[in-house]
Amino acid sequence: MRGSIDGLESSAPIGAMLPAVFADDDLALRFVAGLDEVVAPILIALDCLPSYFDPALAPADFTRWLGTWVGAEVDGTEPDARLRAAVAAAAYLHRVRGTRRGLSEAVRLAFGVEPEITESGAAAWDPRPLGPVPGDRRPGLHVTLRLPDPTPADAYRLESLVAAARPAHMPYTVKVTAAERTSER
């Protein structure tokens, strides 16, 4: 959290801006020096304001708050790097929401792992009218996620993420399994 910092000097001391009549008044100078100590963190934040709106540069607590502004899909347990990536990608994810690419990217940002997505739909072209319809007649979406150490919380998180990022009309199922471990030699 930002706040008072011991020894932080103001970039614009108020004592230097006082009229000449107060320049020699010790009480007035000490009084505004106390105000300088309170105002210095505010001036520093204003000097660095563009950095607060860049998820890569903003303080972690502000990045989490910024995530609420842009509707980032975060639950508060992400490591700092994944939080910053999710906040930076939020606008893009809103643009591709409801698509396979959008769902895949949302899951990857939340878990750090690429999901396996299978869906019932398909697209095909046929020169004859009334040709065969590709895909299944019943819509469906299945998302499988392979994690190193899955927990029930991961399944719940994936369920809520897919429910929010899938096409609205699409019934879905989710599955979280343990990733196969490869032996290192």
Domain boundaries, the chain: 21-53, 55-96, 102-179
Please state, in angstroms and rounded to a whole number, the distance separating the CA atoms of residues 105 and 114.
8
Question: Contact at 8 Å (CB) between 133 and 101?
Answer: no
Q: What is the mean pLDDT of residues 168-174?
A: 90
Q: What is the mean pLDDT of residues 139-154?
A: 91
Please state, in angstroms and rounded to a whole number, the distance separating the CA atoms of residues 140 and 169.
9
Question: Contact at 8 Å (CB) between 158 and 103?
Answer: no
The candidate with the shortest Cα–Cα distance to 172, out of 106, 130, 124, 120, is: 120
The tens digit of pLDDT for each residue in 79-97 reads 899 899 999 999 899 999 8
Give 182's pLDDT tier (boundaries 50, 70, 90): low
Give 7's pLDDT tier (boundaries 50, 70, 90): confident
Question: Contact at 8 Å (CB) between 149 and 117?
Answer: no
pLDDT confidence of residue 136: 79
Q: What is the mean pLDDT of residues 139-160?
A: 91
Q: Please state whether the predicted TM-score (pTM) of the whole model is above 0.85.
A: no
Question: Contact at 8 Å (CB) between 90 and 96?
Answer: no
For residue 160, pLDDT beyond 60: yes
The candidate with the shortest Cα–Cα distance to 30, out of 9, 19, 14, is: 14
Please state, in angstroms and rounded to a whole number, the distance separating the CA atoms of residues 18 and 167.
62
Structure tokens at 129: 């009218």
